[in-house]
Amino acid sequence: MSQVVLDAAGRRRSPATMPGFHAGRPPRNKGQRYPADPPTIAEIVTVMAAAGESVHGRRLRPLVVVLWRAGLRIHEALALTESDLDARRGALLVRRGKGGRRREVGMDDWAWDELEPWLELRRRMPVGPLFCVITGPTRGRAWSSAAVRAQLRRVAERSGVRRRFAPHQLRHAHAVEMAREGVPLIVIQRQLGHSNLGITSIYLQGIDNAEIIDTVHARRPPMIPVELAARSVARR
């Protein structure tokens, strides 16, 4: 008879959570690529409002803010601790980004204001990751990315936002918005922690065709040197 394994709360543990259960099974989304389709500012704010005022909603909103306004990857955001925040400088320290690279990123004053209510709640919990489990015996420990994605998906559906709403989409939105604001591409690259500009350019595919057409259509006419203009008039 197989041995029954219990979790920290004394409940029977699912075999799917045991080491090796998924060995040799490819993930359902393996090889699937999603287009760069970042949500709009209005959609992001709508989802944040739909998160509500429960303690779980008050944890989700600042996470959305960090993903959106600092452009972090989900694992980078979930690895943050309170000591990684420098509100005075407006900086967040990513200790271990993709490829093990360490970097500092910036975040605007509005985002810091949105983060502060959660920081007050977090100080009442056991020391650990900034975005942590709120209830139960694992209170204060790391919040899983799977749980984040599930909650984001539910809240987005409840808010009426009819597009894929995932953590990485918020990172795309950060890149696109900075490009629209005229931030140099090299700064966007450093903020996102990309190893080369080619990867950063992929993120900017979220700029829609209408914006590209309007920008190019609004270009100034070419400046013709005076001497060439005079020759053109003389030939007529």
pLDDT score of 1 more than 50: no
What residue ranges do the domains of the chain occupy?
A: 38-205
Q: In this predicted structure, what is the pLDDT of residue 84?
A: 96
How much is the CA Rg of the chain, to the nearest whole Å? 23
The rounded distance, in Å, linking the Cα atoms of 101 and 103 is 7
Q: Which contacts of 160-163 are long-range, i.e. CB under 8 A and separated by 24 or more positions?
A: 160/46, 161/39, 161/43, 161/46, 161/47, 163/37, 163/39, 163/43
Look at residue 27 in the predicted model and tell me its pLDDT.
63
> Of the ranges 82-96, 119-133, 173-187, 213-227, which one carries the lowest mean pLDDT score?
213-227
Third-level CATH fold of 38-205: hpI Integrase; Chain A (1.10.443)
User: Residue 83 carries which DSSP code?
Assistant: G
Measured torsion, CA atoms of residues 144, 17, 96, 121, in degrees rounded to the nearest 10: 30
Q: Which residue has the higher pLDDT, 84 or 22?
A: 84
What average pLDDT does this structure show over 104-111? 94
Q: What confidence score (pLDDT) does residue 232 get?
A: 54
| 25-29, 42-46, 178-182: least confidently modelled range | 25-29
Active-site positions read 73, 98, 168, 171, 194, 203
pLDDT in tens, 28-71: 656 555 556 889 999 999 999 999 999 999 999 999 999 999 99
Helix (H, G, I), strand (E, B) or coil at 86: strand
